[in-house]
Structures are given as C-alpha cells and as structure tokens.
Structure 1
Amino acid sequence: MTLNNRKSVFEKDFESVKERFPKLSYGWNKKSNLWVVSGELDICDSIGVYWNTFNIAILVSRGYPFCVPVVIERSEIIPRHIDWHVSPQGLCCLDAEQSLLALSKKGINLSDFIAEKIYPFFANQLHKLESEKYAGQEYAHHTAGVIQYYLEDLKIPSVEKIIVILEISLANKGLGRNEKCPCASGKKLKHCHLQEIQSIRSFGSQKILSDLESIKLHLN
C-alpha cells in the first residue's frame, strides 16, 4: 500500500525484515486492512545449530508502528493449548498483553519485534517440546498473569499497591513529580514510579479499569 509511489513506514521497515528473515514476505489485505507477513521462520540455537522451521503469519494493522502484531502459527508444531500459549486457532500469546501494549505505544520496529518477541517465543516452544519446560520463567495465565506483569515488569511492590496505582492512573488526577510515590517507598514520584504510571495511563481508561476490576475480583 503506497501513496504517490512513496513507500510506507511498514514497507521501509520490511527491507530490514527481509535481510534478517529472508523466508518471510508480505502483502496488503484490502478486505481486512492489514499487512500480512507470511512464510517460514527457521529456528536455531545460540550457536547456530538448526532446530526446526515454523510456518507463520504476522498480521500488522495500518496503524503501524503503533500497534501490536498478531502472530499465527500455521505449521501446528506447537500443541493448541493454553499451557503452550497458543489458541486452538493458532494465535500466539507472545508476552503479557500489558507489556506488548506499552511497547506499541512507543512504536515498534517489525524486524526487532520478530527478533526480540516472535523468534524467542518459537525457540522457547521447541525447548519445551524437547525438555518439557520453558527455558525461562513464563507468565501465569489470566488475572494471575496481569498481576505478575505489574509486580515484575513495573516493580510495584504488592498487589495492594497495584490497586492504588491503577486507581490513581484511572482517576487521571495530577500527581506532582515531587510528591511521594503512591507505592509507599518514601521516594519522590520522579525517582520512583513516574514512568510506570505514565505507561499505565497510555493503556487508556478502558484497559486500566479492566485490569483493576479483574485484580479486585481475583483477590476476593
């Protein structure tokens, strides 16, 4: 999809994708208004030994680079089960939803997204197929995974403080940089969770409210 014969940001970025992952190609789907990247992704270990090849599709919205690509595993190498983070339709859960959303707000580079999110996901799946466990820690499912994101990625010290910070973020009230951080660390906000609160607010009120309600329900 070009305008006046000028390449879009996606098309320019795909040149790097093609260099790093030569078996992938793309097209524009007019019906769904999506860029569709498809093809094979070869997986090797850290020393370059070939492991396996996945047939995948990556759906990228026209809002690129401010979007979260959807990844579909077509080769059916991975079991279609929640414990494998793959839906019955082959949709892959690459990371915590909040983490991917925060990344999209900053803008992604497709080549880096494939290298840093998609490739490790499939490599880790192969590791689990071989050893029956993932190489690193995986996110819990559902609300437990939401809580894990706020605790581990945003370094909020407790579930109770997650609720406090989400309520403050949802209220969208001004919070001075020199005020005490609501996490109760005793530090000024600018030296503590300022960036994290800004990131949470970028999710939008609907997502913040959804997380807040699910966490409160989980505690009860």
Structure 2
Amino acid sequence: VMVPHRNPVALIDATREEYALGPADVWTFFHSSAFDFSVWEIWGALLTGGRVVVVPHDTSRELDRFRDLLRVERVTVLSQTPSAFAQLLDVDHTDLAVRLVVFGGEPLDARMLLPWFDTHPESGCRVVNMFGITETTVHVTAQTLTRGLALAGTRSVGTALPGWHVYVTDPDGRLLPPGVAGEIRVGGAGVALGYLGQEELTSRRFTPDPYTGGRLYLSGDRGRLRPDGSLDHLGRLD
C-alpha cells in the first residue's frame, strides 16, 4: 500500500489536540513495523515531541515483564489490540502512569474493559477505540469509552477523525440512511495512493469521491451509521 508522508502527518494533526499529545508523553512501540498500528506508535510520539519505548519481542510476550516495563518507563500512551490488552488485564495493572489507551487492529468487546475501569477511573485514563484500515492510514474513527458504554457492550467505533469522511453505501455506491447496514467507504486526508504495481486492484478499490471531489476507499467492511454520525462496525462483507 502506497501511503504518502503527508498522510501520517495529517493523522497526528487530527488527533494531537483532542488527546493532548505532547513532549511529556511516553509511548510504547509494541507492534511489528509490518503492522500499520506501528505507524501511529512511532510517529505519534516523534511528531509531538514525545519519547518512544521499544518493547522487545520477548517482553511483549511475557505479561509480567511488559507490565514492569510500563511501570519503570512511566508509559503514558499505550496502543494495543483488544486481544493483547485482555492478557494484560490478567496481571496486576495498578500503579501505571498510562493516561491514554488506544485500541485498534481488531474488533473490541467493550465489556472486557470493566476490570480496567475498576482500577483506572475515566477521570485519570482515557480509553479510545479506533477503527481504521491500512489503506486509509491506520485510524479513521474514534470512540471514547466509558464504564457505561462498556456495560452496554457498545459496538460503536465513533465518528470520523477531522479531515476523514465515512460513508455507508449500498453495492451501487448510493448513501444509506442511519440504521441501515452497508459497505463502509472512507474518504479524506488518510486515503492512500493505491497498491504498488497493482493498477487493476487500485482502480477497483480506490474511486472518485462524488461528495468532496477527492478519492474514496471501498473497505469491504460492513457498518451502519447512527443518527449522531457515529459508526457501528459489523464485520466484513465477504
């Protein structure tokens, strides 16, 4: 996937103020550099003056050692897939400096967060679920989670980041009203240039955006918009 340099810059610009990202933050570089989540971890820190702690592979697989790293390095921004975070909940996770947890990479069952909220109140640590795609530069939407939303088992992945656009359409590309499920299509600042050396696939998945004059990415994901503009992610269409 060809992602120009301006796209990660736009991603950090879209999130810097909302999440108060800055020089006081310490981020983990937990994921493989082959996983697009790592773009967020590395450049989120470096473009805001923060510090990046590289998590050794062995440490990432040993929960006690990873928890100890979070404590010793005083990590403030932790990015995790839900399945990795679920394992962290199995060890003592008190006395951490984490103020922002960002989920991505796979669907989140919000109910799993209840043990976290027991020891990390919403006032001290913000928990955010982000939906995104490599072809649209890591993150597209964001939903801040609360104990109430976790109890309700929300499926919302939130609203589009500033500069990103989310549409839900039928197979012919016509916009669907809130509450009706269809294909998620993404436009705006994060849309990639296409697939390297795969012009036919690029032409099928990246199309003109008739609403903004830019380009759209056809995700192949199923979703529905809520009346407030937030998005429910409902899995894959295929």
Q: TM-score with structure 2 length normalisation? A: 0.28
Q: Normalized per residue, which structure has more helix?
A: 1
Work out which structure has the larger RCO, using CA pairs closer than 8 Å and 6 or more positions apart in sequence. Answer: 2
Give the TM-score, by structure 1 length: 0.30
| Greater strand share, structure number | 2
